[in-house]
Amino acid sequence: MAAAYVSMGCNLGNCRAYLGQALDLLDAHPLIRVKKISSLYLTEPVGGLRQPDFLNMVAGIETDLSPEPLLEVCRLVEEQLGGRDRGAPHGPRTIDLDILLYEQVEIADKDLTLPHPRMLERAFVMAPLMEIAPHARLPGGRTVAEAATSLADRHRVEKLGALDLDGGGC
């Protein structure tokens, strides 16, 4: 099985429930096992659109899927949960899943780029990833912890604690 990390975010509706449902849907897939989840992080939106804050987290998974089929599963989960309008980059969404890392694989095509092309620029991604995988290696050999030290993002990222499905919305 391959190790991968998936970023998850929500800023519409009952975000804790959407994040929990997304984790359940991933783990229910016969070729995916959710192994670790980060704490929840309350984060300031990036991209300049006025919108509610996000809840973000990262899941560490093991999978027998290759990267492209894993991306399809992530998109299916988004679709099942009302997801996002891909025509509105950085816009509000009930759920957004992005594959951050898949082993040491590097891909750059129109549908999938690995590692995620902007992960090293985003505190809302790096903080939860560093929590569960500080020693994970990026292509090129640096660890997640080493990469996080050079993070220039100054958007607000507040650690909230564990996912609590009874905790309400964002």
- If you average pLDDT over residues 107-121, what whole number do you get? 92
Percent of the chain with pLDDT over 70: 92
Q: What is the DSSP string of the chain?
A: -EEEEEEEEE-SS-HHHHHHHHHHHHHHSTTEEEEEEPPEEEE---SS---PPEEEEEEEEEESS-HHHHHHHHHHHHHHTT---TTSTT---S-EEEEEEETT--EESSS-EES-TTGGG-HHHHHHHHHH-TTPBPTTS-BHHHHHTT----S-EEEEES--TTS---
- If you average pLDDT over residues 21-43, what whole number do you get? 97
pTM of the complete model:
0.92
The per-residue pLDDT for range 83-95, each reduced to its tens digit, is: 766 566 667 889 9
Domain 2-161: CATH architecture, name and number where available: 2-Layer Sandwich (3.30)
Res 37 pLDDT > 60: yes
Res 166 pLDDT > 70: no
The per-residue pLDDT for range 117-134, each reduced to its tens digit, is: 889 889 999 999 999 999
The reported pLDDT for the residue numbered 4 is 98
Bigger pLDDT: 85 vs 108? 108
